[in-house]
Amino acid sequence: MSTSPKNRPTTRPEIELDPNLTSLLNGFVYYIRVEKGMAENSVESYRRDVLDYLGWNGLPIEKHQAEQVGKYLAELVGAGLVNTSVARKRVALKQFFGFLADNGKDLKVDFDQIPKIRLSQHLPDFLDVETMLAFLDELPRETVLQRRNRAMLELLYCTGLRVSELLGLTTHDLNFGESVILVRGKGSKQRFVPFVDSVSDILKDYLGQTRPALLKLSQTDNLFLNNRGGKLTRMGFWKILRQAALEAGLKQEITPHTFRHSFATHLLEGGVNLRIVQVLLGHSSLNTTQIYTHVDTRYLLETHRMYHPRA
């Protein structure tokens, strides 16, 4: 399975700004991290978005104009950057210039003059029920690492967690008595997500047998550990998932979000109310969850064509 360039983790040198711009950017980062309580991954994305723009523009902040921001975003679209990423950059810049204006900067950046980025509707990638269950059922479980991997993937599909939420779990977040797990989502928001009995048995085995073997002499309450007893990273999880998909012979490329999309899609196909799915996914707005109604509609159309006597 190949990894597309847009999904392949990369490192690049940090852009150097003059001290004044650096100070403004640091103030903005403090604002969204501490005062707005934005999740750390989002903080870093916004920081990088603003940094890239400031490095591209190169002018003192007072000389920035809406026309320049619009030209920058248009160049990104022209270079082939997906619209969702460009839209996020526009939001980050709007937040940044709004922060500066609120703190007394005399600016000429009116975002009403900057066209919004049109987002193309696309269906989320997911596996059908049979493919997902076959993939999970065939996961090897002979070694310690294989049993850990199975526990992670089973829990990911059972709960629809984001990968950052999965890797942020601690042993204290599991409540076997109520069969729920405490999840810390975006913006430090918390929610409870249930898990089923079959996954409960897998987790109990992981905690009783597998995790102690990984923990060794380390001391941490992180739920999922690497082979050195430390916290598993996002990169480490990507490698695990990629290898599991290769070994299973999956033709469809899957990502951690494939599990989340599959979770939501399968619940909707089973008749679960959209608002329940919203709560389980941790979406603050129902609009974010609405994309799954397109998947649900497609399922209904396929079922109708398959079973209606006139089809």
Catalytic machinery residues: 162, 186, 257, 260, 283, 292
Token pair in block for residue 226: 């690497």
pLDDT surpasses 60 at 201: yes
Q: Where are the alpha helices (DSSP H) in the chain?
A: 19-30, 40-57, 66-78, 83-102, 129-137, 144-159, 163-167, 197-205, 211-215, 234-248, 256-269, 274-281, 286-289, 291-307
**Mean pLDDT for all residues in the chain:** 84
Mean pLDDT, residues 76-93: 84
pLDDT of residue 287: 65
pLDDT of residue 3: 39
| Of 205 and 6, the one with more pLDDT | 205
pLDDT surpasses 80 at 137: yes
> Model confidence over 3-45: pLDDT tens digits?
333 343 334 456 778 888 999 999 999 999 998 888 787 888 8
- The structural domains of the chain, ordered by start, are 19-113 (1.10.150.130), 129-307 (1.10.443.10)
Task: List the single range of 38-52, 160-174, 264-278 with lowest mean pLDDT.
Answer: 264-278
pLDDT surpasses 70 at 83: yes
Pairwise CA distance, residues 16 & 26, whole Å: 13
Pairwise CA distance, residues 245 & 1, whole Å: 8
CA separation, residue 56 to residues 69, 183, 209, 267 (Å): 10, 38, 53, 45
Which neighbouring-strand residues pair with 184? 190
CB 289 within 8 A of CB 283: yes
pLDDT of residue 122: 53
The total number of residues written for the chain in this structure: 311
Mean pLDDT, residues 226-232: 93
> Model confidence over 175-185: pLDDT tens digits?
999 999 999 88
Contacts of 208 (CB under 8 A, 6+ apart): none
Measured between its terminal Cα atoms, the distance across the chain in Å is 37
pLDDT surpasses 50 at 2: no
**% of the chain with per-residue pLDDT over 70:** 85
Place of tokens 């309450």: 221
Task: List the single range of 26-40, 45-59, 107-121 with lowest mean pLDDT.
Answer: 107-121
pLDDT of residue 278: 86
pLDDT surpasses 90 at 275: no
Pairwise CA distance, residues 133 & 308, whole Å: 27
Mean pLDDT, residues 70-97: 87
CA separation, residue 205 to residues 16, 111, 138 (Å): 50, 54, 18
Mean pLDDT, residues 105-109: 85
Pairwise CA distance, residues 277 & 165, whole Å: 17
pLDDT surpasses 50 at 245: yes
Token pair in block for residue 82: 């997906």
